[in-house]
Structure 1
């Protein structure tokens, strides 16, 4: 069944040398465009990067993750109000989209579009890897891809034919994310129960030891996503959003 196939999905970071035909890639993108979008405005764009030199220019913005230069295709998904604002301006329509609400609306559109692309790409036999580094170094990406005013990169996806199928990473139990009718806050006992399996996985126990930490949570707070890094990249991203034309 389709559900079972989707439940078996994995993030793919290593690819074969086989290229993705332009016809197939365009068909996948066209299919993804059928996803829901705010007011049917389609406030997104995607930059396709195949050129080796361009991928090498993008790599530092993604902390030189090998998947950026080894993937046959790198896709940068952007929140894009540029196109819609130009349409309004050139049709004598007074627009007011240079604000936070508009940016956030476009970001939602772009992320839904990106996820739909990932789903159809995987169903077509391709592998994808989502890069969360896009918003960290948005200024470099904007410069490299020559993104105009009102266009902000929000996520990057590498895509190609898998060269290996890695083990599936863990997920929290369904109980952890479902709330019936109203939000039911978590007790200490709830957190202990819901995170127990995750904390006791051999791979995560090894991760704790390698990083000289006492708990898995400390790996996240002290190593992977540190407070000072979050605050720094927040300032960088907010600044570039404003520089790209959105007023907060």
Structure 2
């Protein structure tokens, strides 16, 4: 196993940081690595916002499912899907571009998330931990306003970074699913009901031989995550984002401070 693959196996979410700041050189290295990520047609359909203003950090911590550690992180990076830059550039060149649509939005999201993953990998190689904040997909109108995102620029993930505490370094990384569960040949396969319950139950720490315990764990996880208020709000928010890209501004325009 080479060093890069080993670090991908070792990297885990870090939510508690020391007071040591992320140096300017490390920050630049992380941002430069992010911008080397694979991208659609070399367009880089994303932008990265380094959030330094403490008031904005506090608002993000509150709007992202009330998580105070966001405001305390040494480095906060917002990755935004940016279909605006090329759209504006085409117009300035007299190309008469169509309005960005839902496909452009999803492609921009892919670019932004791939860049964010490059950033986490680069950070880990520097001894810097990170945590993805998917909750930035909730309350999209507020997130866009906080980050000053105009039309066709949408926050899709937030990344907080810093040096892990000893406790975080020692914390065991949750076990990922086996390849047998995750990888198929040529086509997707719906596994048997029993196999699925056993696999997902094991992911929740239930004894493989205790089907009742597995079901109890799955029901609890469903209530906590899948059926939660934040999950329902996230779906409302993302639907509004898609509406803003579907034939222009309809009911769900998700914008920030200005056109």
Q: Tell me the equivalent position of 2:92.
A: 90
Could you tell me how far 1:239 is from its partner in structure 2? Answer: 1.9
| CA distance in structure 2 between the partners assigned to 1:192 and 1:240 by the alignment | 34
Aligned positions of 1:93-242 closer than 5 A:
93-163=95-165, 164-165=168-169, 166-200=171-205, 215-226=216-227, 230-242=231-243
Note the residue ranges of structure 1 that are not aligned, 5 or more in a row: none
> TM-score scaled by structure 1?
0.87
Note the residue ranges of structure 2 that are not aligned, 5 or more in a row: 249-259
> What whole-Å deviation, never above 9, does each CA across 1:24-54 have from its counterpart, x for those lacking one?
2122211221111111111000111123222
> What whole-Å deviation, never above 9, does each CA across 1:103-159 have from its counterpart, x for those lacking one?
111111111111111111111110000111011122111111111111001011100
> TM-score scaled by structure 2?
0.84
SS across alignment from 2:136 = coil
| CA distance in structure 1 between the partners assigned to 2:228 and 2:68 by the alignment | 26
2:46 to 44, 47, 53: 44
Could you tell me how far 1:193 is from its partner in structure 2? Answer: 4.1
Q: Tell me the equivalent position of 1:247.
A: 247
SS across alignment from 1:134 = helix
The 3 A distance-change label for structure 1 pair 221 and 199 is closer
| CA distance in structure 2 between the partners assigned to 1:4 and 1:115 by the alignment | 16
Which runs of structure 1 show a deviation greater than 6 angstroms over 4 or more consecutive aligned residues? Answer: none
CA RMSD, Structure 1 to Structure 2 (Å)? 2.4
Aligned residues: 240
